[in-house]
């Protein structure tokens, strides 16, 4: 007799520079429109959690604001802080990048991921 798979649960942060499709990916994974998406950058201003439950696992997806490296307004600082805060509280991070375009701004985000948080690409 085989032992049943353990039920797993974990939190996954979707991080990336503004407007790369983090919220669109989150909604697609959830199968419903939970997070606002738009052609304009900086649409997501707070971290937002969506839970995807399957038979063997529960995925807590955390949509985050786009990480801003160019403009240093108070709003941008607050939003960047909330990205860092999300990264402290998740098990895994997914870096969302624009297809065929990985640049300096994406590289900055790699440095924000704390040691010990596994990173994936999308």
Terminal-residue alpha carbon distance, the chain:
38
23 forms part of the interface with Mg ion (CB under 5 A) = yes
String marking each residue 79-98 x if it binds ligand GTP according to CB under 6 A = --------------------
Q: Interacting stretch for ligand GTP, rule CB under 6 A, among 11-19, 87-95, 100-108, 113-121?
A: 11-19
CA nearest 94: which of 62, 69, 66?
Answer: 62
Instruction: Give the side-chain half-sphere CA count within 13 A for 9.
Output: 5
Number of shown-chain residues binding ligand GTP (CB under 6 A): 17
50 forms part of the interface with ligand GTP (CB under 6 A) = no
Residue 38, both tokens = 């738009």
Among the listed residues 11, 34, 37, 69, the single contact to ligand GTP using CB under 6 A: 37
User: 6 vs 3, 10, 56, 58, CA distance in Å?
Assistant: 9, 13, 7, 11
**Residues belonging to the chain:** 122
Q: Considering only residues 27-66, where is the footprint of Mg ion by CB under 5 A?
A: 43-44
Binding site for ligand GTP (CB under 6 A): 16, 18-24, 37-39, 41-44, 65-66
């Amino acid at each position: 007799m085989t032992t049943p798979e353990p039920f797993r649960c974990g939190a996954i942060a979707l991080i990336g520079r503004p407007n790369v499709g983090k919220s669109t990916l989150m909604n697609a994974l959830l199968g419903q429109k939970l997070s606002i998406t738009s052609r304009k950058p900086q649409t997501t201003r707070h971290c937002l959690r969506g839970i995807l439950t399957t038979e063997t696992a529960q995925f807590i997806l955390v949509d985050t604001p786009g990480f801003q490296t160019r403009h240093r307004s108070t709003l941008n600082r607050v939003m960047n802080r909330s990205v860092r805060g999300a990264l402290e509280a998740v098990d895994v991070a997914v870096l969302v990048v624009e297809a065929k375009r990985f640049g300096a701004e994406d590289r900055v985000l790699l440095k924000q991921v704390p040691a010990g948080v596994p990173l994936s690409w999308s």
